[in-house]
Amino acid sequence: MALLPEQFSQLESLAETWALPTELQRSERRWAAGPDDFRRFYDAMLPVLDQVLDYLDRYEPDNVPEPALPLYRLALAFAEAAPHNELYDCSNTVPNSFDAHRFVAAHGEIRDR
């Protein structure tokens, strides 16, 4: 079964690994990513970012229905991953930074609903 609406089928393989429900899970994915992971994600997502967000905007932010959740999670993962492409040379850490694993997202995760 496809995770994403048909018009985004080119993102399907990305959704399989990046479309995770909680901020912590998405962070763990990010910390495990290599430069090519970041590049593939960015190069596929940036050209369709507007279409993805337009598609999602037909729903209320707290009421995204089950079938659209993977796309929503993918968009959140992209928002969190893109700085690694645009600023950190596709490294999975912020250069010269504190250990990200020690930072607790105490707000209880940016969730998908």
Partner 1 sequence: MAAAADQIKQAMPFTTRYPELGTGPLDVRPLIDPELFELERERIFKQSWLYVARAEELAEPGDYKLRRLDVANTSVIIVRDRNGEVHAFHNICTHRGNKLIPDQEAQSLGHTATHTLTCRFHAWTFNTDGALRGIARQESFADLDKSCLGLKRIHCAEWEGFIFINLAEQPRQSLVEYLDGMADHFAGYPYHEATVRLRYSTVLNCNWKVALYAFSEAYHVPTIHKGTFPSLARLEHTEIKCFGPHSTSGIYVPPVPGLEPTPVTANLGGRLRTSDRHRPHLELLPENINPDNRQDFQFEFPVFFPNFLLHLGAGNGYPGMAYFTHQFWPVAVDKTLWEGTNHFRPPETVSERVAIAHTNALHRNAWLEDTSTMEDTYQALASGVLEEMVLMDEELMIRNTHKHWHDYMGI
Q: Which residues are at the interface with partner 1 (CB under 8 A)?
A: 46, 49-50, 53-54, 56-57, 59-61, 64, 72, 75-76, 78-80, 82-83, 85-88, 94-98, 100, 102-107, 110
Give the residue among 96, 83, 60, 71 at the shortest CA–CA distance from 14. Answer: 71
Q: Provide the CA 110 distance to its chain's centre, in angstroms.
A: 12
Q: How far apart are CA 28 and CA 94, in angstroms?
A: 14
